Chains A and B, each alone.
Chain A
């Protein structure tokens, strides 16, 4: 299955969930399929699962998706243990495994040799809802199940290599961050970014 087809299949299931997307091809493709200020890009390889965990802990009533890659998850495999420890019910972690560092030119990852079972690693780290999807329908069912039930959820999406024609992101990381936080403020009814009043306002 191709990642882009999977993303197109997931998009109609989405309401106001938040998305933390890896430093890789999934980010541009997801923003092409589902443009939203509820999407935040990640620039540090591997850190999307940890950022998603922090977001899920901060907003326990909001579903948070993490789009990871096989190379990125390899770099921060310990994050599965940390998610297994904290058990965030609202976290849905999908690893798009194309068995290569696609954004770096296609070098092999840990997944290339097919020795590793990412879903098994996640399950044994304490993420009980750990599923494997090898077809678009299996993936749609897995995401549907994850949206209906408490997590944490992990989905190992075994995809073909190859990137769809998706335009680059319109926003750099700073604009993306501000828009994301404003979106969280509006949809959660909270105030996150406060600008202190100028000192002159304090004069009587």
Chain B
């Protein structure tokens, strides 16, 4: 489910980095963060039914001047691969990908999706950070948003339970 403190730190990190629109598909480990997004007045929250839709929403939002992030589980990263490739990467769209890292060390389910997550990101040419240190959460978010903006590409943050 994650902790309220962890979710609050991520949300304030997103705001400090200028993110003003988040599209999402839930995972139980991001429940607190999703709950905060539903209540938040500053960030436009756009729930979608399938993650690739969210890549489209974030792209359209960028074209209209928003700083957008897509919040999803790593299974959703796999659902999004064509949209990431032929829209986000091909058009050069900065999108922050906030991905819950299911199947990570210590996880007891979804080991296959955990196994392929980093190779898929590498194959797509998407830079990423595995977030394991709660003390570095804001720094990692700020750095990822800076790189996404300057490179005009998606950049991924893999959220582990340690930071949620």
Residues of A at the B interface (CB closer than 8 Å) are: 20, 40, 42-44, 47-59, 62, 76, 78-79, 81-82, 85-86, 173-174, 177, 180-181, 184-185, 188, 190, 192, 194, 196
Contact = CB atoms under 8 A, between A and B. Distances in A.
Nearest to A20: B60
Given A47-B56, A54-B57, A40 B92 contact: no
Nearest to B93: A177
Contacts of A192: 62, 65
Closest 4 interchain pairs by CB? Answer: A54-B60, A50-B56, A58-B64, A55-B60
A78 B49 contact: yes
Nearest to A60: B64
Interface string B123-164: 000000000000000000000000001100000000000000
Nearest to A195: B150
SS class of chain A's interface: helix, strand, loop or mixed? helix
Interface string B85-97: 0110011110000
Interface stretch (B9-17, B40-48, B99-107, B111-119): B40-48
A56 B91 contact: no
B21 interface: yes
Interface in B1-58: 21, 23, 44, 46-50, 52-58
* Secondary structure of the B contact surface, majority rule: helix
A76 B79 CA distance: 12
Contacts of A82: 47-49, 53
A133 B61 CA distance: 30
B52 A58 contact: no
A40 B63 contact: yes
30 contacts: A43-B86, A43-B90, A44-B83, A47-B52, A47-B59, A47-B87, A50-B52, A50-B57, A50-B59, A51-B59, A53-B46, A53-B60, A54-B21, A54-B57, A54-B62, A54-B66, A54-B68, A55-B61, A57-B46, A57-B57, A57-B61, A58-B62, A58-B63, A58-B66, A78-B53, A79-B56, A177-B63, A177-B92, A194-B149, A196-B150
A88 B23 CA distance: 15
Nearest to B44: A57
B82 interface: yes
Q: Which of B58, B65, B92 has the most CB of A within 10 A?
A: B65
A184 B49 contact: no
Contacts of B48: 50, 82
